[in-house]
Amino acid sequence: MKAIRLSFIQMAVTMRRDVMLFASCLTPLLAGFLFRFAVPFFETVLTDYFHLPAVISPYYGLIDLFFAMLSPTMFCFVSAMVALEEADEKTAAYLFITPLGKAGYLSARFGVPAASAFLVTLILLPFFKLTPLPPTAMLLLAAGGTLQGIIISLLILTLSSNKLEGMAVTKLSALTLFGAVIPFFVKDDIQYILSALPSFWIGKAVHDHILVNMLPAFALSAVWICLLSKRYLRKM
């Protein structure tokens, strides 16, 4: 446990030296204020202008969903960038044979940041949510978002060999989150073509107000994380 703590502190020090990575960790707070105050303001402006009862408000649940994914995505993105730098400098392979070990390295680089993102989401979501989410729904959304963040970080690491490639792969990896959009816009059964994405089931749970739909999301996330972790370790 001490080795994991020290390794995480080392990663935090590296992060603080990189302005972009440090700013990424503040993104959820800034986005929270934007979602909570700017979106309802524009909703009022648009409904008055077009004389419609609702324009953006039918998608408030989707906005809350993306906010629940934001902290894990940003935190795990930062971890992935640090891990890519360590892999490029060949330090990660050496850490594997220290008392930290492979399991400790994965815990320090992904477990601790993901757990931190989970807690941050649970703190911020009640203040910035746009829909009346019950505590159980917020807990499940925070958990689902955390798993999505881990998947994105592992995709970055398995498909990239350096930080420059990692930035490009991040944009592609983030597309896995847009499975959550499909239930809100596609009503036919063709929507299930993206059912292999955990985010699809999270979006379906929010759209249909059926929390049990989170179970396939958790199961699929476990499969994705297991497969990507094995591929990452083989790569290292």
| pLDDT per residue as tens digits for the range 118-177 | 999 999 999 999 999 899 999 999 999 999 999 998 998 888 877 777 777 887 887 888
Helices (H), 34-185: 39-50, 60-88, 91-96, 101-106, 112-128, 135-159, 163-173, 182-185
Reading the block at residue 129, the tokens are 């949510």
Beta carbons within 8 Å of 96's beta carbon, 6+ residues apart = 102, 105, 236
Q: What pLDDT, on the 0 to 100 scale, is given for residue 14?
A: 66
In eight-state DSSP terms, residue 90 is T
What residues of the chain score a pLDDT lower than 70?
1-19, 90, 92-100, 236
Length of the chain as a residue count: 236
- Whether this model's pTM surpasses 0.85: yes
Give 163-197 as a DSSP string: HHHHHHHHHHHGGGGGGGGHHHH--SGGGGGGTTS
Q: What pLDDT, on the 0 to 100 scale, is given for residue 3?
A: 61
Q: What pLDDT, on the 0 to 100 scale, is given for residue 220?
A: 96
Q: What pLDDT, on the 0 to 100 scale, is given for residue 163?
A: 72
b/e per residue, 176-214, with b = 16+ CB within 10 A? Answer: bbebbbbbbeeeeeebeebeebbbbbbbbbbbeeeeebb
Give 195-218 as a DSSP string: TTSHHHHHHHHHHHT-GGGHHHHH
Q: What pLDDT, on the 0 to 100 scale, is given for residue 40?
A: 93
Residue for token digits 């070990």?
101
Q: What pLDDT, on the 0 to 100 scale, is given for residue 9?
A: 64
Task: Tell me how far apart the 2 most distant CA atoms of the chain are, in Å.
Answer: 65
